Structure 1
Amino acid sequence: MSNNKMLVNERQRDLGNFMVGRLLPFREKRQVGPFTFIDHMGPAAITTGRYIDVDQHPHIGLSTLTYLFEGEIEHRDSTGSFQVIHPGDAGFMTAGKGVTHTERTPVEQRDGAKYSMHGYQIWVALPKDKEDMEPRFDYYPAQDLPRWEEAGLSIVLVAGTAFGRQSPLTGYSSLFMVDVHATNDTHLELKNQLKGEVAFVIVKGSITDEGETIEAGQMMISKTDEECGIELKKGTRLLLFGGEPLPEERFLLWNFVSSSKEKLQQAKADWQAKRFPKVAGDNTYIPFP
């Protein structure tokens, strides 16, 4: 592989009953555009004893973008939002100065049957002037996201601006996230289609770049930003994401993202002292690790 690419292998970790693969951040690259953190959920079977139950936990300084291929997740947060996120939908919770939320298998899927779960949760760092904004939750059903077919590709613009189109999920900085499915062996050219840094997460199948094959569970980051093209095999699915980098460095502490290390320590203290807002009717609590 040329020096114009970085390749990352998914690292598995346990999240209660659930195994997720973390692709970002890693040592050589802390962010891609404003994207700070990516967790790959599944593919996994959801059934009795294996339900998703992520109890109350906090965030500051970021937006969480939840995007599913299979399964459902019930989102609740301290702004009062309640939403079941289905395949193809985008859930976008902006933490701002502080939010608490839970993620669970919905009641209707707790019937003992077996369901598939597969998707991604991605953290997008907020611009410095938005880090202390009021928290909010925005929901974009699958039918509201731009989708089109071209040259052996089925494409969904999940967030931001790309390929001359605009998603209703704009975010708060220059960014994009695109779901690409190859219906035939084909070529994807990105020059003049995206703006900024770009990463390729291979969900299924493989892509070829300069004779090298990159498989599912890997992420490739282009060092030449959007000036690149790739070959896709039929049946391959990938997420493209990235955008213009934020001007200041971002720091991570547990579930918190900020341009200020002091704000991270304050958020830690506030969570430990139980000063964060709560999800109504929920008394669960995940301690600071």
Structure 2
Amino acid sequence: MSWQPCPDPLPGDKKASDLIETVIVPRARDLGGFSVRRALPSGKKQMVGPFIFFDQMGPAEFVLGEGIDVRPHPHIGLATLTYLFDGSIVHRDSLGTELTIEPGAVNLMTAGKGIVHSERTGTEPRKTGDSFGPAQLLVFNPGDDITVRAKSDARFVIVGGEPMDGPRYIWWNFVSSSKERIEQAKEDWRQARFDTVPGESEFIPLPTR
């Protein structure tokens, strides 16, 4: 369910339009066999605080036997944080980590100079099917006091923090303060120089653009 600040402010409150710097409607992005709704980076905003990627899994409806299958893919220069409202997903990475992420838990993976991981629906959840709803990202003006009132049941996540110490270059899943480092990462993935994920034989090829 999408949400927004109630347009009728309390006495003395600012109007919602005065509090919101940017409204970002996530766009569908293919991760290789599965689409996510990506809010960051966008044409309106590259980062919010230290957050440079902001993806929502879904919306999607699964029939029995199907689920999310994000094949192994690489990252450099960032840390990924995965949080689920519903369902579960199995995380595997090139360090040999394998764990099931469930609602209420946080999975934090630091890529550093390079890591490869996959995210897939487990065996049991594929027996019931599942779905995810739409959302949007509101960027508020720094320093403002925010009051959110929903007219019906809603979920929302607040993220933020101090900005990075400088601009970052982004290409596919690679983030760096150096264009040369990103070019090296592209070539390393193209030439299969990254470590592999144990038990996985598939991978997402390097995009052509």
Could you tell me the TM-score, scaled by structure 2's length? 0.83
* Residue 24 in structure 1 maps to residue 40 in structure 2: yes
Offset at residue 108 of structure 1 (A): 1.9
Q: Is the 1:68–1:87 Cα contact (8 Å) retained in structure 2?
A: yes
Offset at residue 63 of structure 1 (A): 0.7
Mark the CA change 1:235 to 1:64 in structure 2 (over 3 Å): closer, same or farther: same
- Structure 1's consecutive aligned runs of 4 or more residues displaced over 6 angstroms after TM superposition are none
* Residue 246 in structure 1 maps to residue 164 in structure 2: yes
Offset at residue 47 of structure 1 (A): 3.3
The residue identity in structure 1 corresponding to 2:67 is Y
Offset at residue 44 of structure 1 (A): 3.0
Query: Could you say what secondary structure the match of 1:35 adopts?
Result: coil
Offset at residue 16 of structure 1 (A): 5.2
What value does the CA root-mean-square deviation take over the aligned residues? 2.0
2-side partners of 1:4 and 1:67: how far apart?
25
Residue matched to 2:177: 259
2:53 to 37, 42, 59: 37
Q: Is the 1:63–1:92 Cα contact (8 Å) retained in structure 2?
A: yes
Residue matched to 1:273: 191
Mark the CA change 1:74 to 1:3 in structure 2 (over 3 Å): closer, same or farther: closer
Mark the CA change 1:71 to 1:43 in structure 2 (over 3 Å): closer, same or farther: farther
Could you tell me the TM-score, scaled by structure 1's length? 0.61
Residue matched to 1:69: 85
Question: Once the two structures are superposed, what CA deviation does each residue of 1:99-122 show, in whole Å capped at 9, x if it has no partner?
Answer: 0111111122233x32x254xxxx
The residue identity in structure 1 corresponding to 2:61 is A
Q: Is the 2:20–2:138 Cα contact (8 Å) retained in structure 1?
A: no
Residue matched to 1:6: 22
Q: Is the 1:70–1:86 Cα contact (8 Å) retained in structure 2?
A: yes
* Residue 95 in structure 1 maps to residue 111 in structure 2: yes
2-side partners of 1:95 and 1:82: how far apart?
16
1-side partners of 2:154 and 2:99: how far apart?
30
1:231 to 117, 126, 148: 148
Q: Is the 2:34–2:69 Cα contact (8 Å) retained in structure 1?
A: no
Mark the CA change 1:266 to 1:14 in structure 2 (over 3 Å): closer, same or farther: closer
Offset at residue 282 of structure 1 (A): 1.6
Offset at residue 83 of structure 1 (A): 0.5
Mark the CA change 1:282 to 1:231 in structure 2 (over 3 Å): closer, same or farther: closer
2-side partners of 1:105 and 1:94: how far apart?
22
Q: Is the 2:19–2:140 Cα contact (8 Å) retained in structure 1?
A: no
Offset at residue 48 of structure 1 (A): 3.4
Residue matched to 2:136: 218
Structure 2 unmatched ranges of 5 or more: 1-16
Q: Which has the higher contact order (CA 8 A, sep 6+)?
A: 2
